A and B are shown apart, each in its own frame.
Chain A
């Protein structure tokens, strides 16, 4: 049993659109889905990661600029955020939790029960991201308020209980 890039991208688009319309009261425009390799990922901004586990394993991520993260937090928490702080990171983490959580619920219909980790969010610059393993990321760009947000999901069969898919972060990380 497997899932095509198009099917996964469709789930990501639906979940992201649902979260933005419900929690932020706004429509978000999606771009064309793409298939990415294990690296390079984003090198600066805010990245939020959440793990998926079960018969299939993987990672979901949301990446955006610091400015976009502040806009998301402002819409989410009804407050002004001129700079990234702990509330902004918390809001991005929760948006990630909702998006990937909704994708997970859809995936469970096909792949059976899956677990979701607690999100990790990183803010910084000059970092490198890499996925361990051979699996590729399905990414979808979204556009809102003249800013871009990327939602990516990496998913592979969990063979022999191996957990081969985790993301490593190197160099120059700074978290709030």
Chain B
């Protein structure tokens, strides 16, 4: 079954690259929704249903960790897998993301294999 996926990153370049990498990683991609920050992503989630969320952490307006917290606090979205894809590599950030309910954590730069491996148990 093709997955509708939400990609949240303030970089349009990364959103484009992730779409290509998902295909390379043999992920059955359906619709891809894009948001430039957590606020935009929450607006999209109000209107659209997705089966997977990939989110950056460092973003303007609402960062990825705040966004993750809001997703997990909402009954309609709390079970959607959310994988953080970020340059943030410190143990503190990883732990914070895990505590907030992140389903996975991938550091930039990334390869298609790393994305595939991270998504293997989630989709």
Asked whether A and B interact, the reply is yes
A contacts, CB < 8 Å to B: 18-19, 22-23, 73, 76-78, 86-87, 90-91, 93-94, 97-98, 101-102, 104-105, 108, 113, 116, 118
B16 part of interface (Cβ distance < 8 Å): yes
B1 part of interface (Cβ distance < 8 Å): no
Tell me the smallest distance from the CB of A53 to a CB of chain B, in Å: 12
B contacts, CB < 8 Å to A: 10-14, 16-17, 20, 58-60, 86-90, 92, 107-111
Total A-B Cβ pairs within 8 A: 57
A interface secondary structure, majority: helix
Q: Could you tell me if A77 and B87 are in contact, using CB atoms closer than 8 angstroms?
A: no
Tell me the smallest distance from the CB of A54 to a CB of chain B, in Å: 11
Q: Could you tell me if A116 and B58 are in contact, using CB atoms closer than 8 angstroms?
A: yes
Residues of A within 8 A of B60 (CB): 118
Q: Could you tell me if B13 and A77 are in contact, using CB atoms closer than 8 angstroms?
A: yes
Q: Could you tell me if A97 and B111 are in contact, using CB atoms closer than 8 angstroms?
A: no
CA distance A94 to B10 in the complex (A): 10
CA distance A86 to B16 in the complex (A): 13
